[in-house]
Amino acid sequence: MTPELIELHPLDLTLAGGLVVLLAVLAWVGRLGVTRPMLIAAARTVVQLLLVGLILETLFAHATLYWVALMGLVMLLVAGYEVMARQKRRFAGFWGFGLGTVAMFLSSFSVAVMALVALVQPDPWYQPQYAIPLLGMLLGNTMNGIALSVDRLTDGAWQQRGTIEARLALGATWSEAVESIRRDAMRSGMIPMINAMAAAGIVSLPGMMTGQILAGAPPMEAVKYQILIMFLITVGTGFGTLAAVWFAARRLFDERERLRLDRLR
């Protein structure tokens, strides 16, 4: 009784693409200055998604643990680069890239493995149809949380170096001196997820649930998956943010607990 997925034809995509071109032309006439970036981004969407579709089809055909793990590793490294690129003042050297990557590895990977092994339990547990989308959603959200919160931390430390040093000069520990900035940073990484949970279903239908319903899944099944995913994302983002901000804050100080903004660039 499950309805079949209605296949899209190339003509359907061409028509939708034509509307984007029409919008781009209007933007050009109105001198909005977004025509070029819009067309480039649209082209990137097509190329990137086609590529990933090919990769996933190949991966599904060769569902070994090694290929799935390799795919997961590539996704992690790209997310780590993305976190680094979004920092206004990032750490010099290895930690510029390593901080977010290690934190995402610790949180996203462990949450994804736990969800696969203990909760969803596909057979085998690394079955790419479940593992890759799950890891992708976890990484994507954790990446946003970490990028946002670490940027907030380093920028806050830079702006408020006077008060941090004033507290250090009066004998405060590194943790006391950076406490309020660290708390703000941690909070800023978690707020988006809390808001998403609060608004889920009322303001917006979450993307994964929408996709499952379009693919013909019964709404209640899609809802159960969506609830699970939201919880997992909250947990992954939360722990990832806590770990990244804590490590980053510690890294702003050296072994004598001096503020070392020269470690940023």
Partner 1 sequence: MREPRLRIDDLYGIVGHWPRLRLPAGACATLAGPSGSGKSRLLRALADLDPSRGTVHLDGTPREHFRGPQWRRQVVYLPADSSWWAEYVGDHLAAVEAETLATLGFEPDVAQWRIERLSTGERSRLALARAVALGPRVLLLDEPTANLDEATTDAVERVVEGRRGDGLSAVWVTHDPEQAKRLRAQRFELVDGVARERA
Instruction: List residues near partner 1 by CB under 8 A.
Output: 160, 162-163, 165-174, 180, 254-259
Query: How far from 129 is each of 63, 67, 70, 105, 133, CA to CA, in Å?
Result: 9, 13, 15, 20, 7
Tokens of 131: 């593992």
CB of 255 to partner 1, least distance (A): 8
Token pair 């709404």 in the structure block, residue:
219
Tell me the closest approach of the beta carbon of residue 259 to partner 1, in angstroms. Answer: 8
CB 147 within 8 A of CB 85: no
Q: How far does Cα 243 stand from its chain's mean position?
A: 15
Compare residues 173 and 195 and give the one whose CB is closer to partner 1: 173
- Residue closer to partner 1 by CB (options 90, 167) is 167
User: Shortest gap between Cβ of 151 and partner 1 (angstroms)?
Assistant: 21
Report phi then psi at 20, rounded to 5: -65, -45
Name the residue nearer to partner 1 (CB basis): 64 or 173: 173
Shortest gap between Cβ of 264 and partner 1 (angstroms)? 16
Report how far Cα 57 is from the mean position of its chain's Cα atoms: 23
- Let me know if 8 is exposed, middle or buried by CB neighbors in 10 A (0-12, 13-18, 19+): exposed
Question: Which residue's CB is nearer to partner 1, number 82 or number 176?
Answer: 176
From the CB of 27, what's the least distance to partner 1, in Å?
46
Cα→Cα distances 23→19, 36, 41, Å: 6, 12, 13
How long is the chain? 265
Instruction: Return d(Cα 99, Cα 92) in angstroms, integer.
Output: 11
Q: How far is the CB of 183 from partner 1 (least distance, A)?
A: 13
Closest contact distance (angstroms) between CB of 166 and partner 1 is 4
